[in-house]
Chains A and B, each alone.
Chain A
């Protein structure tokens, strides 16, 4: 069964460092998303991506964040200068017609 895969599963980084979280969406899907979940809190929308551009973003998705689809299969989330409060699970999702399928997430720990 097709699935969304995310790498790495866990990343530890120092405050101020740049991180890139990677995702391989399901191959025939056209809509891509990043969400985050701080431990014990709700799943929060960050950004949606369609037709090689951002279609929607939340207030959380400020200038420190960027997304790319560098090669037609991968979908990346970059955080330029990580802060302690960026520590969370980051989930990638993809969709064809409305229902979204999620990856297992990357746990980002900023120290």
Chain B
């Protein structure tokens, strides 16, 4: 079983739609949960960071963590064409001192 599972998509939505991106994980040792956005041939850009179950909101982005189900989500409201990118979930365990990435979901928001 992979440590982190993420559907690679692609996901295509119209402008203004609510986007839901998800990851599941298998190791309960993961303590910190992050979402990154990556444009083609660029470095991952940190969008959201959380370490507890529940929701965290930042502008149009909401990160949701359910540790009991080992399930994390990123919601994007009022999606824009500029949101078109690959979205990566990433999990960190201090015990292992490494960030493990999902495969990334490619999102296209069309006008």
A interface list, Cβ under 8 A from B: 4, 6, 31, 33, 35, 42-45, 48, 50, 55-56, 58, 89, 91, 93, 98-105, 107
User: Chain B contacts of A45 at CB under 8 A?
Assistant: 98-101
Q: Which residues of A contact B94 (CB under 8 A)?
A: 98
Residues of chain A within 8 A (CB-CB) of B49 are 98-99
Selected from B32, B41, B96, B102, the residue in CB contact (under 8 A) with A98 is B32
A50–B96 Cα distance when bound, in Å, is: 12
Contact status B43-A105, CB under 8 Å = yes
**Chain A-chain B contacts (Cβ-Cβ < 8 Å), number:** 62
- The SS class assigned to the A binding surface is strand
Q: Which residues of B contact A48 (CB under 8 A)?
A: 97-98
Could you tell me if A91 and B43 are in contact, using CB atoms closer than 8 angstroms? Answer: yes
**Known contacts A98-B32, A99-B32: A56-B43 contact under CB 8 Å:** no
Q: Which residues of B contact A35 (CB under 8 A)?
A: 99, 101
Question: With A42-B101, A42-B102, A56-B96 in contact, do A98 and B31 touch (Cβ < 8 Å)?
Answer: yes
Query: Which residues in B have their C-beta under 8 angstroms from that of A91?
Result: 43-44
Whether A102 contacts B44 by the Cβ 8 Å rule is yes
Q: Is the CB of B42 within 8 A of A56?
A: no
**In the complex the two chains form, what is the Cα distance from A42 to B102 in whole Å?**
7
24 contacts between A and B (CB under 8 A): A35-B101, A42-B101, A42-B102, A42-B103, A42-B104, A43-B38, A43-B101, A45-B100, A48-B97, A50-B97, A56-B98, A91-B44, A98-B31, A98-B49, A98-B51, A98-B92, A98-B94, A101-B46, A102-B43, A102-B46, A103-B43, A104-B42, A105-B41, A105-B43
